[in-house]
Structure 1
Amino acid sequence: MSRRTRMTMAVLLPLVLCAAGLSPAHARPPTPSPGATFDKVEPLSPDEARKRALRRAAELGNHSYYDADKVTDDGRSRQSLGRLATTAAFPATPPQPDTGDCLAKPEAARRSGWTYNRLLWCQAFGYKADYFKVSTSGPPTYMGSVIIDWQMAAMGSNTQRSLRVFWRPVAGSVRYVGWTTANPTGQPFAVHAECAQAAPYCSYAGTTPSKSWSAWNTTTDWFSWDLTSPAQAGDPTREKITTPDWHLVTDATSLDYPLIPPGKTDDLPFRCDSADYFSRFGQAFDRACVFTDVIPHLQYNLSSAKHGTVARHIQDAQLSPDTSYPIESHRKTIPGRWEPDPDPEFGSLHRVPGTGAIAASNTTWKNYACNRNGAYNATTGLPPKTPQQEAEGWQCDEYPFRSTAEGAGSGTWDFSVRWVPGTQNGSAGGSLIAFFFDDRILHVNDPFWVKINP
């Protein structure tokens, strides 16, 4: 039989077990393209990419949250997310325990995987190759299939405009299905990660490991590729944002089966920037790549000894704005409340420079309300502190935050002020700054929300 009378077909499928075995419900034939590469696509603008990523996140239920209780008094986050963010170089294997926690999520078995947070994505998936013998005198004859399960993780960075993609097979997962001839244990299978856009917008570095099915069945090593998207020449913006996509390419071509088309996973978005306003403990973090198909939000807790009074203020402002000070002559609307599936961007908050004109205007209007002057008076402004509050050093807290475009001076949204313990005000503010850093919240570009827990 001529080698050219055979071909194979391959599909990617989620690892969803059912009574009959692996379910192909979400399987999709890969797009053929010679040489295990795919046509490059044009990048979206930062605005288009942000809107697309938010829609995807809402549809998929990708919700990244940041717990303010896990930020220590000096602003250092105990969350593993923070450890990822300050890693100077990529590790040789995916970070733990984050990757294990991510892979344990049932959502990791989806075609799109699971975006664990802004700096970690994972997937537990499978590949199925259907082998056919093709004859010029009749229809193709099915020969059998080979299935392999894999694990993937991708890690962002707050120190370089790159991310690292990790991949490995699940040892012992190779199955031969439907073969009436000998199992094709010696047939090759190769993988690599690559960018959906062409260089210099995005490029990848790393080898393309290729092993026989029998060799992959005993492999436990992680393989990795680095995807890099540099600042583009002529970009005058401060952040120099690029918005690439990436995917994994599979290839089972061999001399025996030369016509097998390569397969690829879904394109997954990420964002790189060169914002120069991120620093921590004297070190600048002026380059980064993060995952954007996740909705970032900050969480405060009513039960927290560190910031419970501030959390109560935010909750009351979000749920009962008309009971808050300052008193307005219209029904108040205060944004930023986290909802499980928010309408992308509506009612969100947006970070602004802490030393800019917007933050200064927010401070001015907050002070009017706190001091009962300017636009407010003894009736409409915040009542003065009690003697006990004065003695304990309570401070005037504002929501939305001073460092947001929706703050007291926005003119579009209303705001709330309240006296809170000074230590709690400082703790809550420190957590907000840590959230901005660890989730890489850019000025104006990144919408975010606030959730109040019991």
Structure 2
Amino acid sequence: MNPLRRLTSAAVCILTVTALCLGTPALATAQAPTPTSDPKPVLPQKEAQRRALHEAARLGDHSYYDADKVDADGHSSQSLSRLATTLAFPATPPQPDTDDCLSANDAERKEGRTYNRLLWCQKIEYRARYQTVDTSGNVRYWGTNAIRWNMVAMGSNTQRAIRIFWRPEAGSVRYLDWTDPTVVPSTLPFAVRPECAQGSSYCSTSGSAATNSWAGWNTTTGWSAWDVQGPALANDSSREKITTFDWHLTTDATTPRFPLGGGKTLDLPFRCDSADYFSRFGQSFDRACVFTTVIPHLQYRLSSPKHGAVARHIYDAQLSPDTSYPAEGHRKVIPGRWTNDPDDPALHRVEGSGTIAKANETWKDYACNRNGPYNAVTGLPPRTPQQEADKWQCDEYPFHATAEGASSGTWDFSVRWVPPSQNASAGGSLISYFFDDRILFVNDPFWVQINP
């Protein structure tokens, strides 16, 4: 693609740097960015979640968790799984995920791209427009400095914090419309620093502003990094201690000649929790911060040799519930299919050995064994002789570890015989998905998508 065409197609952020009166131009070290507005109020968790999901649907940002990439031992080859088990923040953005994220056109939106629950990125041009205002109110425009930057935010499954990485694209600084020889635009300062939108009483940012002249930034290749911490509220006695915040990048291009100015990027939401029920291969992951502007959904494939029969069961249950067993005396409604509408019925995780999951297992067995409220007509037909010999198992959807499972008084369910290896593979992928996408008990809606 022509680089000029690519540049004009990207979102451009503009900061106006204004002076109140004319005077002798002067150069100064860049000042640390200051808050550009009053602290943002903390939204109730459910409202913050609703807004984030609708924004994710509008932008088309999904988690893209593919069950076919989960090995039999529970390890996954996909990027989300690798990020989820990172014990500490790296000094530079994780690869190859960062390059993959930044290579997409969506990264050039003003909202950036939420790659998954643990990675966000942006590749954008930013412009600082310099002008002055004399004592009579007359505005004089002096010129504009432009810079392209890459920004990456990384979540964590071991800390109540996210890490923000920022760097300019070397050679991207441009000086536009400058004609007055008394101002050397390349020597003017420019500073950046992330900030918690809710203010330091709720969340805080480590480190000072990254400052340099425009000429200095034009040759910079290293990353600047900061951590945004989201501690639990002191009076929160809940198990998960969920808190929701927003962060943005603040900018400052002010000097004594241009003393007013300072901007920020869009607010981007994240959620922190202290859920104590996440572990992976003997390692506990009891603190986390994840990005919420992404649709959490699990994907199975009909063509998969690992779980194709289970995928077909889910597909049929979602699209043709009335053809599924157990037969009911009403139109069956089975939730969990992703349709790009976060208001559509979702699934919600429950504890796998808890009361709801055990009740789901009981009702599944009723349908599979044709007893309890079901009989030879309404229950699942017995296995064929070959299925009996191969020890096929009774699969259920919605999953037994969901509030919408077989015992739900609101939703219907489906059961079907499937090969035991495929049942185990699909179940193992579900457990891995819960961990990698940080699906909390009851709180987090998620959906299931069946691909060809």
Specify if TM > 0.5: yes
Name the structure 2 match of 1:263.
Answer: 263
- Please report how far the alpha carbon of residue 98 of structure 1 lies from its aligned counterpart in structure 2 after TM superposition: 0.7
Contact 1:30 1:264 in 2 (8 A): no
Aligned mates of 2:329, 2:389 — CA distance in 1? 33
Distance 1:200 1:141 in 2: 40
Match of 1:324 in 2: 324
Cα distance in 2, alignment partners of residues 359 and 35 from structure 1: 51
Q: Does 1:212 align with 2:213?
A: yes
Matches within 5 A, 1:362-441: 362-441=360-439
Deviation for aligned residue 1:29: 5.5
Would you say the 8 A contact 2:32–2:252 is kept in 1?
A: no
Answer whether contact 1:147 1:174 (CA < 8 A) is retained: yes
Match of 2:94 in 1: 95
Contact 2:302 2:312 in 1 (8 A): yes
Structure 1 CA distance, aligned partners of 2:15 and 2:213?
A: 22
Who is 2:27 aligned against?
Answer: none
Return 5+ residue gaps in structure 1 as ranges. Answer: 1-15
**d(CA) in 2 for partners of 1:18 and 1:303?**
40
- 8 Å contact from structure 1 (residues 71, 77) kept in 2: yes
d(CA) in 1 for partners of 2:32 and 2:390?
72
Report the Cα distance in structure 2 between the residues aligned to 1:35 and 1:304, rounded to whole angstroms: 52
Q: Match for residue 160 of structure 1? A: 159
- The alpha carbon displacement at 1:395 in A equals 0.4
* 3-state SS of paired residue (2:243): coil
Q: RMSD between aligned alpha carbons?
A: 1.9
Distance in 1 of aligned mates of 2:370 and 2:8: 67
How many Å separate the matches in 1 of 2:383 and 2:114? 45
| Compared CA separation, residues 331 and 24, structure 1 to 2 (3 A) | closer
Q: Structure 1 residue 23: deviation in Å? A: 6.6
Per the TM alignment, residue 346 of structure 1 is displaced from its structure 2 partner at its CA by 2.4
Q: Deviations over 1:277-335 (max 9, x none)?
A: 10111111100000001101101111111101111111111111111100111111111
**Are the counterparts in 2 of residues 36 and 263 from structure 1 also a CA contact under 8 Å?**
no
Q: Supply the distance in 1 between the matched residues of 2:331 and 2:14 (Cα, whole angstroms).
A: 51
Per the alignment, in what secondary structure is the counterpart of residue 314 of structure 1?
A: helix
Aligned to 1:292: 292
Maintained 8 Å contact 2:16/2:130: no
Residue in structure 2 matching 1:36, options 34, 37, 40: 34
Deviation for aligned residue 1:181: 2.2
Alignment match, 2:247: 246
Aligned partners of 2:17 and 2:254 also within 8 Å? no
1:55 positional shift: 1.3
1:118-133 map, 5 Å: 118-133=117-132
Q: Report Cα offsets for 1:354-381 as digits up to 9, x if no partner.
A: 1111111111110000000001000100
Q: Taking structure 1 as reference, are residues 82 and 377 closer, same or farther at Cα in structure 2, changes over 3 Å only?
A: same
1:53 counterpart residue number:
52
- Normalising to structure 1: TM-score of the pair? 0.92
Identify the residue that residue 194 of structure 2 maps to in structure 1. Answer: 193
C-alpha distance in 2 between matches for 1:237 and 1:354 = 19
Secondary structure (helix, strand or coil) at the match of 1:88 reads coil
> Quick one: structure 1 residues 30 and 275, their matched pair in 2 at CA, closer, same or farther if it must change by over 3 Å?
farther
Counterpart code for 1:273: D
Looking at structure 2, the residues matched to 335 and 101 of structure 1 have their Cα atoms a distance apart, in angstroms, of 33
| Contact persistence 1:152–1:165 (CA under 8 A) | yes
The answer to whether 1:361 aligns with 2:362 is no
Cross-structure match for 2:311: 311
Matched, 1:301 2:325: no
Q: 1:34 to 1:219 in 2, by over 3 A?
A: closer
TM-score for the superposition, normalised by structure 2: 0.93
Amino acid at match of 2:333: T
- Post-superposition offset of 1:255: 2.2
Mapped partners of 2:282, 2:421: distance in 1: 24
The aligned counterpart of 2:350 is 352
Residue matched to 1:115: 114
The 1:345/1:283 distance shift into structure 2, 3 A limit, reads farther
User: Counterpart amino acid of 1:210?
Assistant: T
Change (3 A) 1:24 1:131: farther
Report the 3-state secondary structure (helix = DSSP H, G, I; strand = E; otherwise coil) of the residue aligned with 1:277. coil
Residue 35 of structure 1 and its aligned partner are, at CA, apart by 5.4
Measure the CA separation in 2 of the matches of 1:238 and 1:303. 40
1:192-251 deviation per Cα after TM superposition (whole angstroms, max 9, x unaligned): 011011234211101211101111000011001101111111211110000010000000
Change in CA separation of 1:422 and 1:35 when aligned onto 2, cut-off 3 Å: closer
Say if 1:413 and 1:24 are closer, same or farther in 2 by CA, change over 3 A: closer
Q: Structure 1 residue 22: deviation in Å?
A: 3.9
Count, aligned residues = 435
* Structural mapping, 1:4-83, within 5 Å: 18=5, 22=8, 27=13, 36-38=34-36, 39-83=38-82
TM-superposed deviation, 1:17: 5.5
Residue 337 in 1 paired to residue 337 in 2? yes
Residue 242 of structure 2 contacts residue 274 of structure 2 at CA under 8 Å; is this kept in 1? yes
Contact 1:94 1:166 in 2 (8 A): yes
How many Å separate the matches in 2 of 1:23 and 1:319? 39
Q: Work out the CA distance in 1 between the residues paired with 2:292 and 2:123.
A: 20
| C-alpha contact (below 8 Å) 2:40/2:197 kept by paired residues | yes
Post-superposition offset of 1:134: 2.4
Give 1:8's aligned residue: none
TM-superposed CA distance for 1:133, in Å, is 3.0
Distance 2:75 2:233 in 1: 33
Q: Report the CA distance shift for 1:26/1:128 in structure 2 as closer, same or farther (over 3 A).
A: closer
Question: Equivalent residue of 1:132, what SS?
Answer: strand
After TM superposition, the structure 1 stretch with the greater mean CA deviation from structure 2, 408-417 or 138-147, is 138-147
Aligned to 1:283: 283
